[in-house]
Structure 1
Amino acid sequence: MTNPHLKTVEQRLLWLSHWMIHNANHIRPKADGIKVGGHQASSASMVSILTALYFTALRPQDRVAVKPHASPIFHAMQYLMGNLDRERMENFRGYGGVQSYPSRTKDVDDVDFSTGSVGLGVAVTAFASVIQDYVAAKPWAGNQPMGRMIALMGDAELDEGNIYECLQEGWKHELRNCWWVIDYNRQSLDGVVREGLWSRIEAIFGAFGWDVVRVKYGALQRAAFAEPGGEALRQWIDACPNQLYSALTYQGGAVWRARLMDDLGDQGDVSALIGRRDDAELAALMENLGGNCVDTMAEVFASIDHDRPTCFLAYTVKGWGTPIAGHKDNHGGLMTKAQMAGWQVQMGVAQGQEWDRFATVRNVEGFKAYLASVPFFAKGTRRLHDGAIPVPGIELAVDREISTQTAFGKILDQLARGDSTLAERLVTTSPDVTGTTGLGPWVNRRKLFARNPLADTFRAENIPSTAKWDFTPEGQHIELGIAEMNLFLLLAAAGLSHSLFGRRLIPVGTLYDPFVCRGLDALNYACYQDARFIVAGTPSGVTLAPEGGAHQSVGTPLIGMSQDGLAAFEPAFADELAVIMEWAFDYLQRDGGGEGGGDPDERTWLRDQTGGSVYLRLSTNPIEQPGRRHDQAFRQGAIDGAYWLRPPGPNCDVVIAYQGVVVPEAIRAAGMISEGRRDVGVLAVTSADRLNAGWTAAQRARARGNAAARSHVETLLQSLPRDCTLVTVIDGHPATLSWLGAVAGHCTIPLGVEHFGQTGSIGDLYRHFGIDADTIARRVGGLTAGRPIPGRAA
């Protein structure tokens, strides 16, 4: 039975979303001379889909990623439900207003997944479904109901490669409870989608085990097809090219009539079918595609009675129901003031009632009662919570040479041996490099996750192997294929588990450090969601010498510094890594103060109060360890970003500041320099990111009048003589540390790697790039009276 309120909801959302955009572009005073924008046509094409989904199909446990350009519809829906105030609606795309695209962290309404970077919001729903299965399989899961992870997407998003990487990964992990609804309007920003795309979509999704439901005809069209002559009309619609269908839609009922009569007239029944409808009725019939028919979409959603992944191919008209429907320029176009005035009359909205939530509703009290009964909204906000998990002390006593990558594996193995709650909630993942990034011992003890058990064939056949690859629902490692985009999308989903599913996970992912760049868009997306995880990039730098340039990372330290929401560390010693990881397990559980409430207060931009994710840049090169260190200055310094490995004396004129694996070169160079100079200092930088963030935060505090504000790096360098020279060294881009000279005005010689490497030994490449001890010493040897010789200054 048709729900009489659905059409009212649909029309209210259509009007409110478009008025919000119109107000931002044509009524609200402009501070800048640029178009505000807002994608009216892209919103209109999906209004029936959102109405049917949210008001008939969804349950509170379901989670939705809304198509970025349908953001106005989503916000209008929240406004209609009383979950969003008018002030924010009026300030759409303005400072403090609702965001251009749905955002978990910037919007105050109930956004499940941020969207905006097209394709990523779609793919993350598949990984959220995998994480939901992971949580449900564990004895600590509780009785949370299983929800559907749903993506509302534009057909142009199918151009994004991460969609197809995700499809294959979902197939491998027996994806279920996942719906993707494609707004098949066959228009993109600059053109019209090629003919026959639907057949490719069905073939691709079908190949990966998805059910594909084609929703092509609305209720009006299906009724017309049942009339005499209706089959001929259906065949004409099926054969009509996309561009022509859109053009006829824009031109309206009279042009529809002329074209249909030219092509189908004089056929008796068909001519009569067309003739029984006036121009407005004929236009409504021809524009009544399945995705633009709220009753049809509601029926289709209700027909799904299984948990198999399902793709709905919903045919729509871009700009449906508005004066710009079908025009090829409507993607970024806006209705003019004249068009809006005429449309306002057509929509029945009286002057002065544009923002009235119930302006056109006849039975307001009955309509309010209906809205209050909608299951999806009945329980209010659906942000769940889970308490912080205690972090056990982490110590790694080593008195021999060891690499940070090996130390990382040992720390996880140490946790795997124990029975802490942290170890129970820890989930690891890696894109086909589990064994070579240090996760092997953890996986051997904690096994791999799969909904259905799968024995290790090699073990069953008694073939010796260091890897024990048993798949089981109790497993705590999710093995991925080689796509780094999938890694970061899975980390995003796992890092939101406490909010989405009410059970906190501690996600840890690993990948080869050079390939951080291959998943960078998804990493940025995960951080924008405020997902919480640890990612280890290893091995890193030209220190991975025999592998050559394609497997050597140069710019990743700068990525770690620039990525918001990600605290980046590059420890040199195993004890530093142990301190940092113990801190990181707590840091990623701290209250995300920005969730749904805009940016955290500026004083927290270092994020020590609000927390975030953590990036570890590690190496495979074993180095000599400094022995046991337990002093608080060392521990706190490793967390804050630096400490004195060799404190400078009162007459210090040279400090070597290093980050990461180049520490042996820095120490040897300091010894060589000390033969002719006294009081040489060696600064161990564990996090240029944390140092820099603290420094800029202190500068802001002083600018606001707090003259006593001092950052950690300022405290470290404050005792150095003014004419002391800093030599910075890193196996990475030298800009990572070159800013240190600006803290207190010291002359700085930045050493690092600026170009692709090549194969060779570590010594060969260190000498080639000038980050070896001899080169460091020679650069210092060029100093005269504490200043570089002309021509040698950095």
Structure 2
Amino acid sequence: DAEQVRGRLPGDGPDAAAIASLIAGLDDDTLLRAIRNLGGHDLDALRAAYGQIDDTRPTVIIAYTIKGRGLPTQGHPQNHSSLLTVEQYEQLAAELGMDPVDPWARFEPDSVAGRVCGAVAQWLQRDPVDLATPPAVPADIGRTPTGTSTTQAALGRALLDLSREAPEAAKRVVTVSPDVSSTTNLAGWLNKVGVWSPNERRNWFDDDAETIMHWREKPTGQHMELGIAETNLVGLMGELGAAWSRWGQPLFPIGVMYDPFVERALEPWSYGIYAGGQSILVGTPSGVTLAAEGGAHQSIKTPSIGLEQPGCVSYEPAFAIDVEWTLLDSISRLGRPDGSSSYLRLSTRPVDQ
């Protein structure tokens, strides 16, 4: 309250007397409003600050605010979980000039606020785009795996087979990975399609006879490597996966990362799905097949992630042919209004096919 502010604000420093004298001339209501109205709540001051920004250099605006300003619980350390009583809610509505029975009522179109909202809505309106029909994706490549293989190895082979059997569909595939393209069996795919770059760049290892994965960067590349940045990866997947609705051209993004690290990027991946970004997330190796690299590389919690994610179909194929079928089915559901995302968990455990 005001009495506590008057007693505590001056402090005990050399300027205590001057501060006490300054606030002595303020009535209680003015003093409390001044203390509560920090700069971050002054929209006019914020607009003026933004107007002074020099775009040629970085700028930081520090806006001090009080959490819950204007509420009975403002500034209280426990107000994160506090709720208003019915009486407090009705009092707040009265102070704001709102109807507590109709809290979502729109502003009058001819009011200042209504005109601002209308202008912003018009500015955010997207022009409709003509949606291209995604190319057909086969349900089966026609090759039956034999011998011993892993589901992770089947991923790379399935992508290569797709490029031969359905080249138009394969042209829409964009693979992304943190730093594990070679250890998740994408080397053959990379050798065929290349790595995306705005400009063609020299491969400094092209004279290494022992290198089996050729890192050719070019504007037509279909693989994107992001380094150890799983959150950036799923953000990119969301944008690529929304190209069908934003630009009318469907892409088939397939993100590959170590399965234990899916949880690092789970929240933005979910948001991307909610925003219409249809993609395929491949967690591999999964389970305990990375145990040799330490406990941090063992995934035991991720199976339920795909099962519980709305707008996503989860697969855990056991055989190479299962990988082909589930991958093709997942691709066939990308880039369309009724489409969905998929989550595949693969393994490096050899299995007799």
Candidates 270, 276, 282, aligned match of 2:31: 282
Q: Which residue of 2 aligns with 1:477?
A: 223
Mapped contact 1:566–1:613 kept (Cα < 8 A): yes
Distance in 1 (CA, whole Å) between partners of 2:41 and 2:167 is 53
Q: Which residue of 1 aligns with 2:277?
A: 531
Q: Which residue of 1 aligns with 2:323?
A: 577
Matched, 1:331 2:80: yes
Q: In the TM superposition, what are the counterparts of 1:5-404 in structure 2 within 5 Å?
A: 251-252=1-2, 255-261=4-10, 264=15, 266-267=17-18, 274=23, 277-304=26-53, 306=55, 313-340=62-89, 342-348=91-97, 357-358=106-107, 365-367=110-112, 370-371=115-116, 374=119, 376-379=120-123, 381-382=125-126, 386-393=131-138, 395=141, 397=143, 400-401=146-147, 402-404=149-151
Q: In the TM superposition, what are the counterparts of 1:661-672 in structure 2 within 5 Å?
A: 661=351
Give 3-state SS (helix, strand or coil) of 1:315's partner: coil
Measure how far apart 1:528 and its partner are. Answer: 4.9
Mapped contact 1:513–1:537 kept (Cα < 8 A): yes
Distance 1:420 1:273, change over 3 A: farther
Give 3-state SS (helix, strand or coil) of 1:395's partner: coil
Measure how far apart 1:266 and its partner are. Answer: 4.2
CA deviation string 1:430-475 (max 9, x = no partner): 122111112222223333335566533323xx33322332445543
Mapped contact 1:448–1:477 kept (Cα < 8 A): yes
Candidates 334, 346, 352, aligned match of 1:618: 346
Amino acid at match of 1:617: R
Gaps of 5+ in 2: none
Matched, 1:439 2:186: yes
Measure how far apart 1:506 and its partner are. Answer: 1.4
Identity of aligned residues (%): 37
Distance 1:345 1:509, change over 3 A: closer
Amino acid at match of 2:72: P
CA deviation string 1:325-356 (max 9, x = no partner): 21222222233344445545544558988665
Amino acid at match of 2:345: R
Amino acid at match of 2:69: W
Distance 1:345 1:259, change over 3 A: farther
Give 3-state SS (helix, strand or coil) of 2:159's partner: helix
Indicate the structure (1 or 2) with the bigger Cα radius of gyration.
1
Amino acid at match of 2:178: P
Q: Which residue of 2 aligns with 1:495?
A: 241
Distance in 1 (CA, whole Å) between partners of 2:57 and 2:330 is 37
Gaps of 5+ in 1: 1-250, 592-609, 623-660, 665-794
Distance 1:534 1:337, change over 3 A: closer
Distance in 2 (CA, whole Å) between partners of 1:492 and 1:279 is 52
Distance 1:412 1:356, change over 3 A: closer
Mapped contact 1:447–1:470 kept (Cα < 8 A): yes
Q: Which residue of 1 aligns with 2:251?
A: 505
Mapped contact 1:323–1:343 kept (Cα < 8 A): no
Mapped contact 1:290–1:316 kept (Cα < 8 A): yes
Distance in 1 (CA, whole Å) between partners of 2:46 and 2:310 is 39
Distance 1:585 1:366, change over 3 A: same
Distance 1:348 1:487, change over 3 A: closer
Q: Which residue of 2 aligns with 1:448?
A: 195
Q: Which residue of 2 aligns with 1:235?
A: none
Q: Which residue of 1 aligns with 2:333?
A: 587
Distance 1:414 1:550, change over 3 A: same
CA RMSD of aligned residues (A): 4.1
Distance 1:319 1:495, change over 3 A: same
Amino acid at match of 1:491: M
Distance 1:562 1:355, change over 3 A: closer
Measure how far apart 1:318 and its partner are. Answer: 0.7
Q: In the TM superposition, what are the counterparts of 1:631-670 in structure 2 within 5 Å?
A: 661=351
Mapped contact 2:152–2:346 kept (Cα < 8 A): yes
Distance 1:580 1:313, change over 3 A: same
Give 3-state SS (helix, strand or coil) of 2:183's partner: helix
Give TM-score scaled by structure 2 length.
0.75
Measure how far apart 1:526 and its partner are. Answer: 4.8
CA deviation string 1:477-525 (max 9, x = no partner): 2213335455444434433344466653311011234444555555555
Q: Which residue of 2 aligns with 1:712?
A: none
CA deviation string 1:335-386 (max 9, x = no partner): 334444554554455898866545xx9xx73426633553x31156559764
Give 3-state SS (helix, strand or coil) of 2:32's partner: helix
Distance in 1 (CA, whole Å) between partners of 2:310 and 2:100 is 45
Mapped contact 2:250–2:334 kept (Cα < 8 A): no
Q: Which residue of 2 aligns with 1:467?
A: 213
Mapped contact 1:384–1:498 kept (Cα < 8 A): no
Give TM-score scaled by structure 1 length.
0.37
Measure how far apart 1:587 and its partner are. Answer: 1.4
Give 3-state SS (helix, strand or coil) of 1:509's partner: strand
Candidates 132, 157, 171, aligned match of 1:410: 157
